Structure 1
């Protein structure tokens, strides 16, 4: 009986921990030194949202919106998979965007799930109508505090244009650049193109995070993936990988809380 009670207690504890670990949002703070950033933009704050996959956090997404608002963002980046192709509910996903556009300018790039729905044009149009800047292999020059930076958005390659080709069409200029792209597994492509700071998602933190080892599996990378969470550096390139917020085919995260990333930039 003692062994049975002990086993039940372990199972109950695991269920509680897993539930909390899938429904409470972690905020990860990153301070990034960006070469060429004007001194006037020191402290520029970017909040990254990735891989919502139609997940909900509070009624009308108020918990998630409040978390982002508390970060006092200057810019909000959405790096794909705001919807899930397996349970498509655009209206539900747009609720959170409606809250975001009241906080700061919002920039968005597609993930593979938007394209897999076959309704990517509808999704982009709906976001644009809310005031979101949708970037499809485009660079936008943005003036902040009288200074110019570039925001480069790369469409998910499932849409027909590879990340390599998208990068080749938009070589670096003299302005500091922030790059949005769903895919972290092509890190070397960002490095070869000399991208300064790339915001990515897609890996879901490796879904199951093993203490001391990292993520277990990620789309596009397979088992024991290299790029799952945090900041990766090579040469002049830094890449941020968000663990994201939702789940897709595998419905549970383990030791891998949903995450928003707050990046504070310094020269």
Structure 2
């Protein structure tokens, strides 16, 4: 009986850590295409909140975000969850961090699935968020530019490769916000520099030595679940995200925010 109780306690602790303890993952991207004035720029990525809460009024999550002291903030979709849609609750995080740094946002499949997408976008825009729906923005710093592209989730009817084909190839270092990592080859084919994705929830259950077990759009033992993937000159950052959706728990897969630092070679 004692061993059984110890096992139960261990499982409870594991589940608590796997679903409540927020990890900050730091990644550096080095490229001779990064303008020298952008060397050292820190980008905070937030993905797949899914209406989850971390402390009263998101105090634990906000504290973690503020500690990173970002220059830019990217939100890569599924800020809300279509199964328990509570826009005001999800916007609480945005309200508290919008003054820290410019925020750029793209939709995930759950925003599209609510059929309330225009309200979501308008609410974020009113808070001062840059909402990118298959659009680009140029950022200038000390006379040098980089480009940010935002890809709408393909649940809206436009495939990722079709959306990417709308943008002219140029010499600017290009950052892409796109919810779906399973289309990695499209980002490579269109020679994007750094892509920020989510959607895979880290594979939901991470197995030591094997990685994630299952992810939407990729099935069992998915290829892209967490960290950085590189091919040619394209790098894709996949966030494990913060919340859960259809599968309500994570195992060996704590929620995370990601800090990407640009390095000019």
Same fold (TM over 0.5): yes
Do the aligned residues in 2 keep the contact of 1:48 with 1:78 (CA within 8 Å)?
A: yes
- Which residue in the other structure is 2:87 paired with? 90
Alignment partner for residue 178 of structure 1, among 143, 160, 175? 175
CA offset digits 1:153-189 (Å, max 9, x no partner): 0000001111010011113311111100000000000
CA offset digits 1:80-138 (Å, max 9, x no partner): 00000000000000000011211000000000000000001000000000000000000
Alignment partner for residue 150 of structure 1, among 127, 138, 147? 147
CA offset digits 1:197-239 (Å, max 9, x no partner): 0000000000000000000000000000000000000111100
**Residues 1:219 and 2:204 aligned together:** no
Do the aligned residues in 2 keep the contact of 1:27 with 1:261 (CA within 8 Å)?
A: yes
d(CA) in 2 for partners of 1:84, 1:28: 24
Shift of 1:192: 0.4
d(CA) in 2 for partners of 1:236, 1:24: 33
d(CA) in 1 for partners of 2:105, 2:230: 23
Alignment partner for residue 27 of structure 1, among 24, 27, 30? 24
Please list every run of 5 or more consecutive structure 1 residues that lacks an aligned counterpart in the other structure: none
Shift of 1:16: 1.3
Instruction: State the number of aligned residues.
Output: 264
Shift of 1:39: 1.1
| SS in structure 1 of the partner of residue 242 of structure 2 | coil
Question: Equivalent residues in 2 for 1:110-149 (5 A)?
Answer: 110-149=107-146
Alignment partner for residue 44 of structure 1, among 41, 46, 58? 41
After TM superposition, what 4+ stretches of structure 1 lie above 3 angstroms from structure 2? none
**Residues 1:249 and 2:246 aligned together:** yes
- Which residue in the other structure is 1:207 paired with? 204
- Which residue in the other structure is 2:228 paired with? 231
d(CA) in 2 for partners of 1:100, 1:34: 29
